[in-house]
Amino acid sequence: MSGPVLFLLRLLLVGALYAFLGWVIWILWQDLRKSATAQLPPHLAQIDLVVRAGGAAKTLSFRMPEVVIGRDPACDCVLEDAAISARHARLSYHHNQWWVEDLHSRNGTHLNQMPVNEPVVVTTGDQLQCGPVILDIVLGESPIATVEREKVQA
């Protein structure tokens, strides 16, 4: 073969190699972008607790993945009653639902007058009882429900 033909083949080989490397880098970049957006925390649905104790009522709103209820000042929802354990119950948001579980409290946790022995899904209108304190649960709209409603209206 002649020199110019070999030179041209070398240039084509180098060009193909750079094109392949560019394609691999582009694929890796796209994969990184997808995984970065998948790592974003999900939007949390708001939960409101209407705390009724001793005739008084107050509403507490939370938008976090976990709400610990108890007497301990480090709890998210502090209930000042001697019958409440330091860490009495936990509300947690996962699988697009709010769940309640008893944290091995001394006086137990009841949901709609039934004892909570394992994690249970809660909905708006449920009554959670920790000792003598009653908490009415009001769930805010989940982002999924809002999106579905917007699709229906459009």
Dihedral sign, Cα of residue 93, residue 91, residue 86, residue 79 = positive
Over the stretch 35-83, which tens digit does the pLDDT of each residue have?
A: 776 655 556 788 999 998 777 889 999 988 999 999 999 999 999 889 9
DSSP state of 86: T
pLDDT exceeds 50 at position 142: no
What global pTM score does this model have?
0.64
Q: What is the dihedral of CA 104, 67, 129, 101, to 10 degrees?
A: -40
Task: Band the pLDDT of 124: cuts 50, 70, 90.
Answer: very high
